[in-house]
Amino acid sequence: MTEILYAKPAIDAELEALKSRTAKIKQEHGVIPTLRVILVGNDPGSIIYTNSKKKFCEKIGADCEIIKLDESVEEKVFLSEVDKLNKDMNVHAVLIQLPLPKHLSHIDTTNLVLPSKDVDGFHSENISRLYRNDKSETGLVPCTPKGILTLAKHYNFNFASKNVVIIGRSLIVGKPLSLLLTNLDATVTLAHSKTHNLKDLCLRADIIISACGKPKFLTSDYFRTDQSQIVIDVGINRLPNGTVCGDCDFDSIKDQLSAITPVPKGVGPMTIFSVAQNLLHALENSL
């Protein structure tokens, strides 16, 4: 029987712990964990994501405000807003919601937020910690890869000595995930749009993690039929009829697999959960 790896049970199992950490910080230090999200423009997806992050932070007792900047905001105004939040002692974490509008898309946002407030875990200093397999646990780990680990822990599967194929080499999912899983003793293959033998790689893998952003791209011929593989579908793709699907053709492949994450209700909520975790982690580091 294929296991469907829903996010909700994994989040529910950790929710009280996050609430308790927030309450403890308030009680012992008189501080409310505070996140500021910079949202430029009116991208519908970005509005949904930022609202979800705000809602979840509030659920654990933290404070989250979305700072909305006009679609046509000047570059210097945008940068000064980030700078202001970096300097504000009462703000413990900052997130720049991507994508930025076209006229700002040349800005490399990677290192704009201070590494100590970098709730997304994108700053070079945080990525360098992953690269070096730094064990101090002071770094902030990118939210989607971190959420995948939380999900795996909840559903009792691990990555050690497993052959893992990651599809997609983006800076927010594929690349940092490849470092994280390598640190966890997985044997990682990082596939991308120029990979020739993707089907063969998938057929040989124990765990396949897809983040290529291609709706229903992974069909039944990419997987064995013996229910021995786990598939984690990171993709969030909107179909012309308005519905959301992952990179996998879920209905046609699920029965072949040992386990699979659904889209929606899989990796997406785990990413939001990681934002809240990173907020607390950033603040705890600074106290």
Q: How far is the CB of 83 from ligand NAD (least distance, A)?
A: 26
> Which residues form the interface with ligand NAD (CB under 6 A)?
144, 167-170, 172-174, 191-193, 195, 198, 211-214, 234-237, 267-268, 271
Q: Diameter of the chain by CA atoms?
A: 56
227 catalytically annotated: no
As measured in angstroms, the least distance from the Cβ of 90 to ligand NAD is 28
Measured from the CB atom, the residue of 25 and 202 that comes closer to ligand NAD is 202
Nearer to ligand NAD, 41 or 168 (CB): 168
Amino acid at 256: Q
Complex with ligand NAD: residue 9 or 45, whichever CB lies closer? 45
CB 169 within 8 A of CB 190: yes
Give which of 277, 16, 2, 10 is closest to 152, Cα–Cα. Answer: 10
* Catalytic residue flag (residue 256): no
Q: Which of 120, 175, 229, 256 is catalytic?
A: 120
Concerning whether 120 is annotated as a catalytic residue, the answer is yes
CB of 207 to ligand NAD, least distance (A): 16
Whichever of 163 and 237 has its CB closer to ligand NAD, that residue is 237
Hey, CA dihedral for 203, 208, 212, 217, is it positive or negative?
A: positive
Which contacts (CB < 8 Å, 24+ apart) does range 218-224 have? 218/167, 218/247, 218/248, 218/249, 218/253, 219/249, 219/252, 219/253, 220/249, 220/252, 220/253, 220/256, 222/198, 222/253, 223/253, 223/256, 223/257, 224/256
CB of 43 to ligand NAD, least distance (A): 12
Looking at the annotation, which residues are catalytic? Answer: 53, 97, 120
